[in-house]
Amino acid sequence: MAYFDSASSAPLHPVARQALLASLDEGWADPARLYREGRRARMLLDAAREAAAEAVGCRADELVFTSSGTRAVHAAIAGVTAGRRRVGRHLIVSAVEHSSVLHAAEVHEAEGGTVTQVVVDRSGAVSASSYAEALRPDTALACLQSANHEVGTEQPVARVAEVCREAGVPLLVDAAQSLGWGRVDGSWSVLTGSAHKWGGPSGVGLLVVRKGVRFAAQGPADERESGRAAGFENIPAIVAAAASLRAVRAEAAAEAVRLRELTERLRARVPSLVPDVEVVGHPERRLPGVVTFSCLYVDGETLLHELDREGFSVSSGSSCTSSTLTPSHVLRAMGVLSEGNVRVSLPVGTVEEDVERFLSVLPGAVASVREKMGAPVSTDVTEEKDDALVVDALGRRCPVPVIELAKVIGDVPVGGTVRVLSDDEAARLDIPAWCEMRGQEYVGEEPAESGSAYVVRRAS
């Protein structure tokens, strides 16, 4: 069985398992007590906090451990908006934030606050200028994830943080998906993370509040974790979380290179193997192991079951795979195809053979689902693996050059190009017009030995 859903929860890292087992015998006592067992537990907790703070890039007294990443997000938004109530009650979020952020925003709005959702482009990315436009004199807090949990797109956190800093507004960064790969750049003010996303145990979250940020913890007072996370600390799990974060960081640089090669292979070959597929997310600024694509004429839940039977665990943002029967808010905000959506998120240590086997299984799985649904049979994809084709239409009048282009556009993968050679002046108008009508990218005209070469890049 190949587990390809690490963006939901990464497999427990061997170092986390070792640290968890080792600390069960030492970290069970109350770290607030002064006797030997309590002091021993306090030493484990303090060491874990130092290690986690070093990985995040903050002071140890700025970081507390929570019972989950979601709890950290909720505490962060409630605490900062309450602490800055005199400034105002305006909250900024992006349209593709994790549901924990959006749910907290809904509560904030229900309690009398105001919320602005910043739009994203088709790759799922925000712009710093959009955040600048959303800022108001009464803005209490802005929120932005470091990388998207569904499509892997990395956000321009450093630029947005600078915009917010200049306006005197703290920026909360949900770093759950990216923290295992490295520190979050920029002058952010608040940060959250979740251990099970990087191979630590579930039930451990991080909340970092920089010195100088006004923060008023909500709920009944509690003396633990600086009053920001109520309840008895799960020290063995915290120790395992910190140990695994340090371990995955040590492997991150080399593993990122390896996983990026595998995901590049998936991004290039899935559209060439399966017709009517849209690969979504930013083609370059994305997490190393995440690839997301949507298949036309496919029921997402049925496709996931087909892949599960073939030995692959993947995720989906299709409406048919959710309890609400609505498409993923991320895909909807991006304006991309949501039906038949598949997210492949490769865990650390994924082997090339499993990726190749997935590529061999996927076409049959999609075809099986489409056949069951009575979908039309597409003949757009051929066995051609080249990412560039040349159509020689010299001496032939339009619309023949356009017809020949339409015949072969499916023979290149998404991102591949077709160069149409034509000496008919009408091609200069007809080919760009066809691209606009068919949703393909017209790259431009290039000189050729005879006539001109019109370059078209397959966009979908």
Catalytic residues: 320
Is 143 strand, coil or helix? strand
State the amino acid at position 343 in one-letter form: R
Q: Which of 283, 282, 289, 280 is closest to 338 using CA atoms?
A: 280
CA distance readout (Å), 266 to 17, 49, 177, 254: 31, 38, 20, 19
CA distance readout (Å), 46 to 39, 49, 195: 10, 5, 17
- Measured CA to CA, the distance from residue 262 to residue 248 in angstroms comes to 19
Query: With the C-alpha atoms ordered 274, 275, 278, 284, is the resulting torsion angle positive or negative?
Result: positive
The full DSSP string for 244-287 is: HHHHHHHHHHHHHHHHHHHHHHHHHHHHHHSSSEEEES-SSSB-
Pair of tokens at residue 244: 């695994």
How many angstroms separate the first and last alpha carbons of the chain?
Answer: 31
419 contacts 440 by C-beta, under 8 angstroms: no
For residue 231, the tally of other CB atoms under 10 A from its CB is: 11
